[in-house]
Every structure is written in structure tokens, then in C-alpha cells.
Amino acid sequence: MQGNNDDEWLFEISSKKGLFELDYKELWHYKDLLFLFVKRDIVTFYKQTILGPIWFIIQPLITSFIQFVIFSRISNIPSDGVPYFLFVLAGNVLWFYFSDCFKSTSEVFKANQNLFGKVYFPRLIMPLAIVFSNLVKFGIQFVFFLGVLFYCMYNGYNVSPNLYTLYTPILLFVMILLALGLGMIITSMTTKYRDLTFVISFGISLYMYITPIVYPTSLALEKLPESLHYLVYLNPLTSIFDFFKYAYLGSGKLDFFGVLYSFIFSVVIFFAGVFVFNRTEKNFIDVI
Amino acid sequence: MSEVILKIENVSKQYRLGQVGTGTISHDLNRWWAKIRGKEDPFLKIGETNDRSKKGDSEYVWALQNINFEVDRGEVLGIIGKNGAGKSTLLKILSRVTSPTTGSIKTKGRIASLLEVGTGFHPEMTGRENIYLNGAILGMTKKEITSKIDEIIEFSGCERYIDTPVKRYSSGMMVRLAFAVAAHLDPEILVVDEVLAVGDAEFQKKAIGKMKDISKQSGRTVLFVSHNMAAVESLCTRVISMRNGTVLSSGNPTKIISEYLQDSSFSERKVKFESISDAIGNANIRIMYASIENASATDKDSVIDVTSTIDFRMKIVNLTNKETISIGYDLLTIKGDVVFGSGNKFNCTIGGVTEVSCQIPSNFLNDDIYQIFVYFHTNDMADLYSNTELLTFEVKDIKRESGYLGKINGIIRPQLPWFLNGKKV
């Protein structure tokens, strides 16, 4: 270590801490830990199972099929001219990624209190690990989605993927920021008062219906009076999902302005999340 | 080369007692309001010393209060104290798990703490995978672990199981693995909390040896918290004794430990009365004085070690009309098992003070708390007086030489002759 100088301290532990103080150097030092956490999450997911990673695919497959039966066959909800199953699968793959990241992040402090109570490492590693290990799961589901997509194209259905698919990483990035930000806010707020956890558990399933997954945005706009249209776009996920569906299915319409709004919204939420997370991590172990 | 590597300045830690509930939020709002107005936290002024056994008025206690000390590079510092003295809180702050309420800690090196059994271990993953994970949690990079993995596996002594999920491990194997990882960490400061209690003799010896190596050869600093005085004394170069959240004393291990033991033992080793009417007893017998003394030491009141010869002394007054009295006692462990009984007949001057004593040999009693149950009979075995809890004393195991640091089994612990090929060793 450095520090021949007597007054040169490596670090100081006290009750004070900067608000947005993010120690990037320290985070970087723990990059291997991040990697190992991701590996742990993935490897342990399918230990002692027979189907292994196939379980990642079964979840969206069955969900989409049920939704296909209920919303398309029974309720006749339109899907902008593309096959409904593919339409809803596209939404589900994105939604599962978002909701898994959000849900796991919102439980970071509670779920890891044993570990956090014993040893120090930058707590931010945990949410980051969640994002990356879910990314692997997303990757598998996404490949499955692409498979269904190609199958539909091959069989002459009306789907037209276009160059906007290149924006996929950006869409994911915005979703990650949003999921992390919201999750970190929730987990910090629920260390002392658990009330919010009850809201989250049903709130997340309600949020799914506000987001255009099982129905196209056009349908929502058609049914709602003009004066309430802004509500549809207030949800930062709306334009992300629309963009994704436009890029891969050629359905709906493109809304760059909406994506920009989502981006700004997510960045603000993310930094707010880092802020409260930082404040909480120092002492949460005393009150959790 | 006494360079200060760790400096603890005015560290205090306040905890709130009771449950978190609706009542808590009013305090939180109060605190927040004070903060907004730039005032001091109103709840920091209150708070009591952390004495677990006494009922206090305040909801707030100070688990630590104004802790100040420095640690030099290469020192092995032992921290001792009763349960609730604040040792673990201090370690938690040092390992950055929680932050102090006031004060600060400055350090020049990376601090790594030895995890409790299996924290950070994932039961489904193999020993090898867990070494990587645990090492990374403790702050090692993958490269560092890879370069040391063979050494770690060898040290843990779990080669055979290394590719088996740790959920199939015994608790001893978990500790071995956890310690092996931490011991190869190379932090400037290693914090070890009460981990040697598990594990067998061989492993404890290895662990203690490794900790000595860490401090001596590589000049690293170790903070060692334990209730095991034998381990603390054999390892540490300096000892800090804590009580109720404050540092009581610090200095030479032998001195501090014996002070601590004296202070913390359960013993009631002496009873003494000035007049016959005050003395315990009845119309037949009065006990003016009774004591348990350490006959091996110059200070008879000093701590009794397993190697000490023990004197049981009594001064009694015979108030019966017969001179011959049979005096005996049973020695019981605190759990109530009778270790032995012993007695004899004495001629005691009627109405006068007689002194009797009995010697319990060294290397006989085990590390435990004992009680003396004394009884008096007439020559023809009629009861005169008995007292079930005349004296209580503790035998400690301080000067143990073998590497094993756990408690040796048994009610008694005699030193028996051993022979090697027929020759006494």
C-alpha cells in the first residue's frame, strides 16, 4: 500500500458521507465479485433441476400462451396486425426483465442482511449483479423470442423487423436505469418501515397492466378520451415497449420524443436511487 | 517501527431499544426536523450505558462510548470483555458493516474480517466455487485467489470434498474453509471474531499458528476478539479489556487478562464475620470465616488456574457440648454434579475458634465453576449444621500449553502418568 507519510490515511470510517459519493475505483476493485455473484445466481438457479436453463424459456412461453388465450381468443384484443402470441411474447420478454430486476433490487437489503451484516463490500455490487444475472436470463428468453419471430416471418405472417432493432441496447439501458433506480429507492425505504413492501407486491402486477404488453398503445389511445392521453405516455415504459415492438414487429408507431422522456425520467430516478441507497447502506443493519 | 496503522477516535455508537413501529416514526420526524433547522440530534444527548441486566429508563443505549485507541503495524491486539461489552459492535464498525454514531476511525490498510461460519457461502456451490466467492466478498481479485487456491485448499484440509457442494459439509469443515480463505487474504488488518471455538485441536493449532505467522512474518496487524483467554494470551501482544461500551484498560496480556478474570469471575470465595452473632450457622455451629485460596500463588486471592493447588479454609466456633465434631464437604459443579465428598473428625474446643483446612491438589479440577456444600455432624452422625452454598469459585484454564483451545471434557481433569514403550513420559 501507499502511505509512507504518517498522515496519509487509506480511508476513514465515520458517520458522515457525501450524497452522491460513488467510489468508482472501489467498485472497479470488486469487479470480480460482481462476476462471481452473477455466476452464482445463474449456476445455482438450475442446480438439481433436470430441465436446467430451459426453465428460463418455459416462463414466458406459458405466460404468453395463457394471455393469448384470454386476451386474443376470448376478449378479442387487437395486436396491430401482427400475430398476437408474438406480440405479447415481445412485451413479456421485456417486462420480465424489468420486473425481475426491479423486484430483486427492491429486496436487496432485506435479502442480504446476513451477508451485509458481516462484511463490507460496496453494496452497489448487489443491484448490479442482479442486473447482469437477469441479463443472461433475458438473453436466453430473447433468443427464444427471435426464434418465434423467424418462424412467423418464414410462415408469411405480417411481421417486419427493421434497422431500429439496433437501438435495443439503449432501450435495455433505459430500463435498467429505471429498474435499478426504483428498486434502490424501495429497498432503502423498506429497511426501517416495511409498509411499502406490501404495496410493491401487488403494485408490480398492476403496473404490468398500465404498460402496453397485452394490448397495443393504439387501443389505449382509442378507448381513452383525448384529454387523458398524456397519462398513457406518463408511464416511462410505454414508449420503450412501443419502440421495441416497432423495431422487431413493425407494429405501432415510433415515438422518439417518448423514448427521450423515458431516458431523462430514468436517469433522474437512477440518481435519486443511488442517493438514498448510499444514505441507507451505512446504518441499515441497525434497523432492519 | 511503531507506525500507527489504525486510529480510533472518540467512537460512540447509539442503539435504539424496543421494536420498530409507529412510535419510531415520531422520533424520526423529530430528528429530521432538528436536522433541517441545523440543530443537534435531540436523541443523542440521552441514552444510558449499556448494562443489559438492569432496567433503564431510556429507549436509547450507548453500545460504545468514546472509544479511543491506536493500533501499531504488526500488533496482535486482543479484545476481551463480557457479553455486551461492545466488542462485536466495535468490530462491526471496524469492518464497515455499520457506521459509528459519532467519532471516526482512520486506517492505513485494508481491513478484512473473518466471517462467521459459512456467511457468504452458498450451500449449493462447491467448496472451490465458494473459495472464489468468499475470497471476492472479502476483497480479493480472481487472480489473487487463483494464485493461492492450492494453498488455501491444502490449509483447509478439505481436498477430498472440494468439488462437493458445501451443504454436504460438516460445520467444522465450513469453518476450516472460511478460515483458510481469510487467512490467505493478505489484508493489512485482519479482524478475527471468536472463530476458533469450532474446529478440532489440530485445526486450532494450525489456525493459531497461521495467525502468528500473519503478524510476525508479514508484519500484518490482527485484531482478535475472544472469550477464550488461553487463546488470547498465547496470541496477542497487547490486550484491551472492555466493559459496558468503554475501554477499561489496555496493556500487557497477562496482566489485563488476570485483572479481567478477577473482575468477571462468579466467585464468592471468601466469607468473614466479626462476631459470633453475625456469623452464619445455627445454635450448634458458627462459621466465622471460610475461603478458597490459591495455594500456588503468593497472592492467595488470585485467580485459580487448573494447575493451582487450592486450599479450603474455615474458622468455626463449636457451640455444642461435645468436643468431637465430624466436618465434611461436597464439591459440586455449578450444574450440580458432585465431584467428590470429603470429611474428617476433629477435636474442636467448645466455645472457641478452631481452624480447619483441606487441600485440593493441582491438576485435578477442570475448567468450571464449583460450589462448596459443607456439613457438620456429631460423632454419632446426628446433624448439626449444613450449608449448601457456602462458597463458589471458578477454576480457569489460563496457562494451557497444548495447542487445543476448546474446553477439555470431563468433570475432573487429572494429570495422569503416560508411558511410551514402557517409559514414563
**pLDDT tens digits along A4-23:** 444 577 777 776 655 556 67
- Give Cβ neighbours of residue A33 (< 8 Å, ≥ 6 apart): A121, A125, B136, B137
**pLDDT single digits (tens) A99-147:** 999 999 999 988 888 888 878 888 899 999 999 999 999 999 999 999 9
Domains and CATH numbers, chain B: 70-263 (3.40.50.300), 270-396 (2.70.50.60)
Cross-strand partners of B126: B165
Percent helix, strand and coil across chain A, each to the nearest 5: 70, 0, 25
- Phi, psi at residue A69, to the nearest 5°? -65, -50
Residue A4: per-residue pLDDT: 44
Q: What's the rounded Cα separation, in Å, for the pair A125 and A138?
A: 19
Report which of residues A92 and A122 the model is more confident about: A92
Collect all residues of chain B within an 8 Å Cβ-Cβ radius of residue A36. Answer: 132-133, 136, 142
Question: Is A10 within the bounds of a domain?
Answer: no
Question: Is A2 within the bounds of a domain?
Answer: no
Collect all residues of chain B within an 8 Å Cβ-Cβ radius of residue A115. Answer: 119-120, 137
Collect all residues of chain B within an 8 Å Cβ-Cβ radius of residue A286. Answer: 15, 98
Q: What's the rounded Cα separation, in Å, for the pair A36 and A40?
A: 6
pLDDT tier for residue A208 given thresholds of 50, 70 and 90:
very high
Pick the residue from chain A with its C-alpha nearest to B103.
Answer: A14
Residue B264 has pLDDT above 60, yes or no: yes
Question: Is A172 within the bounds of a domain?
Answer: yes
Question: Is A120 within the bounds of a domain?
Answer: yes
Question: What SS3 state is found at A214?
Answer: coil
Determine contact: A285 vs chain B, CB below 8 A: yes
Residue A241: per-residue pLDDT: 94
CA distances (Å), A126 to each of A32, A108, B135, B310, B392, in order? 12, 7, 16, 58, 53
The count of other CB atoms within 10 Å of the CB of residue A199 is 12
Q: Average pLDDT of B214-220?
A: 77
Determine contact: A21 vs chain B, CB below 8 A: no
**pLDDT single digits (tens) B168-180:** 888 778 888 887 8
CB A287 to CB B188 under 8 A?
A: no
CB A35 to CB B142 under 8 A?
A: yes
Pick the residue from chain A with its C-alpha nearest to B120.
Answer: A115
Q: Which CB contacts under 8 angstroms, 24+ apart, belong to A152-161?
A: A152/A82, A152/A83, A152/A86, A157/A82, A157/A83, A157/A86, A158/A81, A158/A82, A158/A250, A159/A82, A159/A83, A159/A86, A159/A248, A159/A249, A159/A250, A159/A251, A160/A249, A160/A250, A161/A247, A161/A248, A161/A249, A161/A250
Q: What's the rounded Cα separation, in Å, for the pair A36 and A30?
A: 10
Smallest Cα distance from A94 to chain B, Å: 29
Smallest Cα distance from A195 to chain B, Å: 10
- Looking up cell 431510556 gives B58
Collect all residues of chain A within an 8 Å Cβ-Cβ radius of residue B7. Answer: 9
| A82, A157 contact by CB (below 8 A) | yes
Residue A1 has pLDDT above 50, yes or no: no
Q: Average pLDDT of B115-120?
A: 63
Mutate to test the interface with B, among A2, A7, A14 (most CBs of B within 10 A): A14
CA distances (Å), A7 to each of A18, A114, B5, B212, in order? 22, 35, 10, 28
Grid cell at residue A15: 458517520
CA distances (Å), A286 to each of A8, B89, B101, in order? 30, 10, 11
Residue B400: per-residue pLDDT: 67
Q: What's the rounded Cα separation, in Å, for the pair A59 and A57?
A: 5
Residue A179: per-residue pLDDT: 95
| CA quadruple B132, B133, B139, B144: dihedral, nearest 10 | 10
ipTM, two decimals, is 0.81
**pLDDT single digits (tens) B5-23:** 888 888 888 887 766 565 5
Residue B54 has pLDDT above 70, yes or no: no
Question: Is A135 within the bounds of a domain?
Answer: yes
Q: Average pLDDT of B68-96?
A: 85
Tally C-beta pairs within 8 A across A and B: 116
The count of other CB atoms within 10 Å of the CB of residue A204 is 16
Percent helix, strand and coil across chain B, each to the nearest 5: 25, 35, 40
Residue A5: per-residue pLDDT: 46
Residue A238 has pLDDT above 90, yes or no: yes
Determine contact: A15 vs chain B, CB below 8 A: yes
pLDDT tier for residue A3 given thresholds of 50, 70 and 90:
very low
| B222, B76 contact by CB (below 8 A) | yes
Percentage of the residues of chain B whose pLDDT score is greater than 70: 85
Mutate to test the interface with A, among B6, B98, B194 (most CBs of A within 10 A): B98
Determine contact: A69 vs chain B, CB below 8 A: no
- Quote the domain boundaries for residue A168: 24-287
**pLDDT single digits (tens) A157-200:** 888 889 999 999 999 999 999 999 999 999 988 887 778 888 88
Mutate to test the interface with A, among B122, B146, B166, B193 (most CBs of A within 10 A): B122
Encoded amino acid at A23, one letter: D
Instruction: Quote the number of domains for chain A.
Output: 1
- Sequence-ordered alpha helix ranges (H) in B38-138: 87-94, 127-137
Mutate to test the interface with B, among A36, A48, A112 (most CBs of B within 10 A): A36
- Going by C-alpha positions, the residue among B6, B60, B408, B49 that lies closest to residue B244 is B49
Smallest Cα distance from A27 to chain B, Å: 11
Pairing type for strands B60-72 and B419-420 reads unpaired
CB A44 to CB B124 under 8 A?
A: yes
Report which of residues A123 and B216 the model is more confident about: A123
Collect all residues of chain B within an 8 Å Cβ-Cβ radius of residue A119. Answer: 95, 97, 113, 115, 119-120, 137-138
CB B137 to CB A15 under 8 A?
A: no
CA distances (Å), A81 to each of A142, A159, A232, A246, B146, in order? 21, 8, 21, 12, 55
Q: Average pLDDT of B123-131?
A: 89
Collect all residues of chain B within an 8 Å Cβ-Cβ radius of residue A116. Answer: 97
